[in-house]
Chains A and B, each alone.
Chain A
Amino acid sequence: SAVISQKPSRDICQRGTSLTIQCQVDSQVTMMFWYRQQPGQSLTLIATANQGSEATYESGFVIDKFPISRPNLTFSTLTVSNMSPEDSSIYLCSVENRALDLRPRAFFGQGTRLTVV
């Protein structure tokens, strides 16, 4: 299993500012993902964090708005830039290690509850 520590757990931010969310895993994992969960909506994949290279973004998400870093196999950050109230959501980190566990998205962090005012 993998234990994920996601920080901060919640924050209230002013519009126009940026927030960086950290995801730390207690073991090396092959894949790390960032999701957004808005009230009443499905979890939506923002991007796949690639170690040592640029993240792969899904349709509707761009690097300028959601820059992602993944410096090693246990850590990633997601930044929500130039925030507006529409960015208020829960942001979740998810990991998998298909070499050891065939289950996709087997583990999720606790989430970061972001409110933009």
Chain B
Amino acid sequence: QKEVEQDPGPLSVPEGAIVSLNCTYSNSAFQYFMWYRQYSRKGPELLMYTYSSGNKEDGRFTAQVDKSSKYISLFIRDSQPSDSATYLCAMMQTGANNLFFGTGTRLTVIP
């Protein structure tokens, strides 16, 4: 079983839609939860960071962590064509070096 599972998509939505991206994980010791956005031929860009559990909001983006279900989500409201990218979830234990990534979900927002 992989440490982190993420649906690769692709996911296509119309402009203005609410997007929900999700990852599940198996290691209950994970405490750091991240979402990265990666445009084509670019490096990953850290979008959202959560330590332990709960919700975090930043503009149109909301990250949720449900440790009881080992499930994390990223919501994008009022999606824009500029949100078209691959979204990677990642997580890590406290005191560890290895950050475990999902395979990424490719999102296309259609104008």
**A residues apposed to B, CB below 8 Å:** 4, 6, 31, 33, 40-45, 48, 56, 58, 92, 102-111, 113
Say whether B103 contacts A104, CB under 8 Å.
no
Query: CB-nearest residue of chain B relative to A42?
Result: B101
Q: Please measure, in the bound complex, the distance between the C-alpha atom of A48 and the C-alpha atom of B99, giving whole angstroms.
A: 11
Q: Please measure, in the bound complex, the distance between the C-alpha atom of A40 and the C-alpha atom of B106, giving whole angstroms.
A: 11
In the complex, how many residues of chain B place their beta carbon closer than 8 angstroms to a beta carbon of chain A? 25
Query: CB-nearest residue of chain A relative to B6?
Result: A42
| Residues of A close to B45: CB separation below 8 A | 108
Known: A43-B88, A103-B34. A111 touches B42 (CB 8 A): yes
**B residues apposed to A, CB below 8 Å:** 2, 4, 8, 32, 34, 36, 41-46, 49, 51, 88, 90, 92, 97-104
Say whether A106 contacts B44, CB under 8 Å.
no
Query: CB-nearest residue of chain B relative to A113?
Result: B41
Cβ contact of A104, chosen from B2, B8, B34, B41, cutoff 8 A: B34
New A-B contacts (12) at CB < 8 Å, excluding given A106-B49, A108-B43, A110-B42: A31-B97, A40-B103, A42-B2, A42-B102, A44-B101, A48-B97, A92-B43, A103-B46, A104-B92, A105-B34, A110-B41, A113-B41
